[in-house]
Chain A
Amino acid sequence: MEAIENKVVEPPSEESVLVDAARAGDIGAFESLVRRYDRNVFRIAQHITQNREDAEDVVQDAFLKAYQNLGQFQGQSKFYTWLVRIAVNEALMRLRRRRPERMISIDEDVKTEEDSMPREIADWSPNPEQLYTHAELKDILGKTIQGLPPSFRTVFVLRDVEGLSTEETASALELSVPAVKSRLLRARLQLRERLNKYFKRRDGDTKL
């Protein structure tokens, strides 16, 4: 006698219902997906391109491309991870167009480990972000991240700003998990080094 298997069929998520409806031509459903992720896509695009007009174009082009290619979305990854992959490619393409003299690729790697080795070991002030006004802090953070190679910047933004897991970041960027981890470590250490000059403890700071 055959064993009866109780297969648990999970109900489709709200997101997969929206994706299916959009695939069938429901633009209202697609607009709901846009509302859900537009802020994330804009942040990612602006971090990569470092240019507001480019970021705006990337958001439009990425969503349009996603809509046009919904038929190819297999549902094996999350819709958001798939969308991020499209958005990152669009953003890198714009960056290449703007800086054709520089080779820009997500596969770009750094030659040595030296670039990320801590050079300055200084403790930071308690609550370093409170040393500056909101506008000053934004300026510092923007300038600092801009100095990272695009391949590091992208991994850092997806992983640490947008909160994707290492596996999701690897899938979105078509990189291996060890490659994501290696870039993430270097990005974090390089940013830390560059922020030292703004946040390090000064004379007169109260020691914790």
Chain B
Amino acid sequence: MGIGTTLLEFVSPFMELIAPLVPGETFPYFFTMEMFQRAMLSALLVTAVAGILGTFLLVKNLALIGDGLAHVSFGGVAIGIVLGATSPLLYALFFSIAAAILIYEMQSREILTGDASIAIFLTGMLAFGLVALRLGGGGITTDIEGYLFGNLLLIDEGSLDFITIICIISIVVLLFLRNGLLATAIDPISARVQGLPVRNIGLLFSVTTAAVVVSMVQVVGALLVTALLVTPAATAKLVGTSFKSCLLWTQFFGFFSVLVGLYLSAELNTGSGSMIALVAALIFAVVAIFTTLVRSLFNPSKNL
């Protein structure tokens, strides 16, 4: 029994406790049936980490790296499936981390600046995965679709353990690194003058990002990872007034998107990943329109 299942055993009584209060016909199953509980727990875990990570990604102006690494992990999953691996996510983890380190090195050595290196890895590894799938004799099966668009019900005990371990380690790493990360993101020269290990911080952050992205692939799908990684953090930036408040708002918007998304997907019988992504984007739109309106109504003369 792994750490994920232990955690589930710990929280499932609480979930069952609030189940009667949960609206909807299908949605309460997410709080009572073990398979759905697993799905719910992993979605919430992933959201918490993705929020913290996303806030830092936005500070570093690296919003698209999540998307790039997610495609790389999909390529890794495909290769794992072709090779007959029992847990293709481990392949995804390997390729994702390798790509993250290479992208970091290319950017810091200025071989390629900006998003170009992300674009190359994104398309290259996706293509490699698709070619491998075809050559391996398979095509896009439901299993593989689950990795592309996310399928919470494919999360078995092994996956839950995998997701839980990655999430816990990543949260710890990010909490410890947060000051150093912020300092290097805002002013790398100053950080180096202060003696911070800028390179190691950057590498560790890249590896963490890669791992978190892989843990998210089954929950929201490789194509939709950015929705949970960047959208809540971007919404938080509209309402937050300090870095700390942005971190907290991100958690709020993230959990809100996931709960509403899961509810709607259960009731309307749609894919969970796509519904979560849609809800997150809608929340951003509503908050963006609202804050702009408020600002132009109350401070019409202020230049922003």
Asked if A and B are interacting partners, one says no
